Structure 1
Amino acid sequence: MENKSSSFANIFLVLIFFILYAPIFYLIFYSFNSGGTMSGFEGFTFDWYRELFQDTRLLIIVLNTLVIALLSALIATIIGVFGAISIRSYKKRRTRNSLLSLNNVLIVSPDVIIGASFLILFTLAGIQLGFYSVLLSHIAFSIPIVVLMVLPKLLEMSSSLEDAARDLGASNWNVLTKVTLPYISPGIFAGFFMALTYSLDDFAVTFFVTGNGFSTLSVEIYSLARRGISLNINALSTIMFIVTILLVIVYYYLTQRSGTKGVGLRR
């Protein structure tokens, strides 16, 4: 009976993954179609990728996307690490859980609501929509992700490590840089890469706060798709998908490394 249940679960899991990934692989497959349509594959070609890399405007948009992603991930990681340390510093579990719940609300909130809220905020504050509005919004929605990645490592760390360092004469800064940050470094890197991935993939929030000729890849793909079918979209989406997969692999590698270190320390 258990074997039948397990087989059914495996078949169901394969079916779900097929439904999720089939459209993506269909898009990738036709990015190499020499026919220029998605109705019939006529031959294999890299022409759409060559055309993509010859588009100067698109290369500028790629550069904008990477700069926004790297800057927002870096700043959000710094703020998120200190935010996680602040949450851990509260001794009362109820206070700590309340702060963590407020942090998690921002993660589960619909992107449309967050994007509209940022648009209203920037309009009221007189901030011109463009590079800085996109950067600030990406930093804001990335911070809770970093906190969620870093806080478990902080809670896992025994306070006796920091107490021992202070007893040996270490200052608070030395305790932070020599003890705390090295211990939670896997969580910090995981938070950075997750924030980087979210920033690269974000569309809804960016769509609300972009303007003045500034654009990112996700918004540009949406604009291209509205004009009609072009295999440039397939090529661009394929590259974004591969980059995202690579970032996720790095994230899981860091997570596994973190778990392995944790087991070693507990022994």
Structure 2
Amino acid sequence: MKRKGKIFNIYLVIIFIILYAPIFYLMFYSFNSGGAMHDFEGFTLEWYKEVFHDTRLLIIVLNTVVIALLSAALSTILGVIGALAIYFVKRRRSKNTLLTLNNVLIVSPDVIIGASFLILFTIIGIKLGFISVLLSHIAFSVPIVVLMVIPKLQEMSPTLLDAARDLGASRWNVLTKVVLPFITPGIFAGFFMALTYSLDDFAVTFFVTGNGFSTLSVEIYSRARQGISLSINALSTLIFLFTIILVIGYYFINKRNNRPNGMGVRK
């Protein structure tokens, strides 16, 4: 068993090296004064200064953050409502059908989703830009939130709701004082997942963005096509570090929410 455990650990190390080596390679050369992705000549922060002095890029960063926060917040609200609606469906077949339809949206290729939104916005006359990107990000984030919240609802004992009703709680009190506090970790998980998906999305955004409006993923792609520039490395490094901060923040929030008190009951 010990030998199998060591082999498994070695396998995991190799997998993580393969996954993270390109990222660390990109980060390492973001400090290269030589201006190329080879022959490291010396340490410099020139490329990071170039990023922060690029006014257009800073506006695009602001656009991306605003889109991500708005889409994550709105999709979390809609996703929680959708998860509650699915959970309280009494017929098992109908519930399974709704969950299947939700999961299909998650596994559908981004190219198909992006092209569908492009056709839809063109038909109904929505101008491609901020609104089209926001609507599309909300649409593909809602199923993710539902997927994060549903397991927490399934963990909740039905007797908990019955006890609240027996004590005279109204439907609104049951929802706000029993259900929502119980599924808070799932809500936070859905919000952060929606936020990271919005920040990272390229395929869908590429279809629905218009002239004069762009996000970081589309901008990085456009600049990379023009040739190697270590400012792209610097920008990508900053995005990666920001994502790490989000993940760490979610970890501590989730850990605090799941911490039991002295009586063994959730706080």
How far residue 176 of structure 1 moved from its aligned partner, in angstroms, is 1.3
How far residue 18 of structure 1 moved from its aligned partner, in angstroms, is 1.0
Q: Distance in 1 between matches of 2:135 and 2:164?
A: 37
- Equivalence for 1:49: 48
Cα distance per residue 1:51-97 (max 9 Å; x no partner): 11111111100000000000000000000001000000012222212
| 1:147 partner letter | V
How far residue 132 of structure 1 moved from its aligned partner, in angstroms, is 0.5
TM-score normalised according to structure 2 size: 0.93
- Equivalence for 2:92: 93
Structure 1 residue matching 2:33: 3-state secondary structure: coil
How far residue 166 of structure 1 moved from its aligned partner, in angstroms, is 2.5
- Equivalence for 1:31: 30
Q: Distance in 2 between matches of 1:111 and 1:9?
A: 33
How far residue 34 of structure 1 moved from its aligned partner, in angstroms, is 1.1
- Equivalence for 2:81: 82
Q: Which moved more, 1:87-96 or 1:146-155?
A: 87-96
Seen in structure 2, the aligned counterparts of structure 1 residues 103 and 261 have a Cα distance that, compared at 3 Å, is farther
Q: Distance in 1 between matches of 2:159 and 2:227?
A: 62
How far residue 99 of structure 1 moved from its aligned partner, in angstroms, is 1.0
Map residues 1-267 of structure 1 onto 2, 5 A cutoff: 2-257=1-256, 260=259, 264-265=264-265
| 1:213 partner letter | G
CA RMSD across the alignment: 1.9
- Note the residue ranges of structure 2 that are not aligned, 5 or more in a row: none
Residues paired across the two proteins, number: 265
How far residue 7 of structure 1 moved from its aligned partner, in angstroms, is 2.5
How far residue 161 of structure 1 moved from its aligned partner, in angstroms, is 2.4
Alpha carbons 1:190, 1:254 under 8 Å: kept: no
Structure 2 residue matching 1:214: 3-state secondary structure: coil
How far residue 108 of structure 1 moved from its aligned partner, in angstroms, is 1.1
Q: Distance in 1 between matches of 2:54 and 2:229?
A: 14
How far residue 126 of structure 1 moved from its aligned partner, in angstroms, is 1.2
How far residue 254 of structure 1 moved from its aligned partner, in angstroms, is 4.2
Q: Distance in 2 between matches of 1:229 and 1:134?
A: 28
TM-score normalised according to structure 1 size: 0.93
Q: Distance in 2 between matches of 1:130 and 1:79?
A: 22
Cα distance per residue 1:215-234 (max 9 Å; x no partner): 00010000110010001100
Q: Distance in 2 between matches of 1:96 and 1:239?
A: 42
How far residue 163 of structure 1 moved from its aligned partner, in angstroms, is 2.5
| 2:151 partner letter | P
How far residue 169 of structure 1 moved from its aligned partner, in angstroms, is 2.7
Seen in structure 2, the aligned counterparts of structure 1 residues 254 and 151 have a Cα distance that, compared at 3 Å, is farther
Q: Which moved more, 1:99-108 or 1:228-237?
A: 99-108
Alpha carbons 1:194, 1:251 under 8 Å: kept: no
Cα distance per residue 1:163-184 (max 9 Å; x no partner): 2223333222222112111111
| 1:38 partner letter | M
Q: Distance in 1 between matches of 2:133 and 2:90?
A: 36
Cα distance per residue 1:94-146 (max 9 Å; x no partner): 22122111111111111111111111111111111100000000000000110
User: Percentage identity across aligned positions?
Assistant: 74
Seen in structure 2, the aligned counterparts of structure 1 residues 139 and 182 have a Cα distance that, compared at 3 Å, is same
Q: Distance in 1 between matches of 2:94 and 2:248?
A: 35
Seen in structure 2, the aligned counterparts of structure 1 residues 259 and 108 have a Cα distance that, compared at 3 Å, is farther
How far residue 257 of structure 1 moved from its aligned partner, in angstroms, is 4.7
Q: Distance in 2 between matches of 1:261 and 1:160?
A: 20
Alpha carbons 1:149, 1:187 under 8 Å: kept: yes
Seen in structure 2, the aligned counterparts of structure 1 residues 171 and 129 have a Cα distance that, compared at 3 Å, is same
How far residue 259 of structure 1 moved from its aligned partner, in angstroms, is 5.1
Q: Which moved more, 1:195-204 or 1:166-175?
A: 166-175
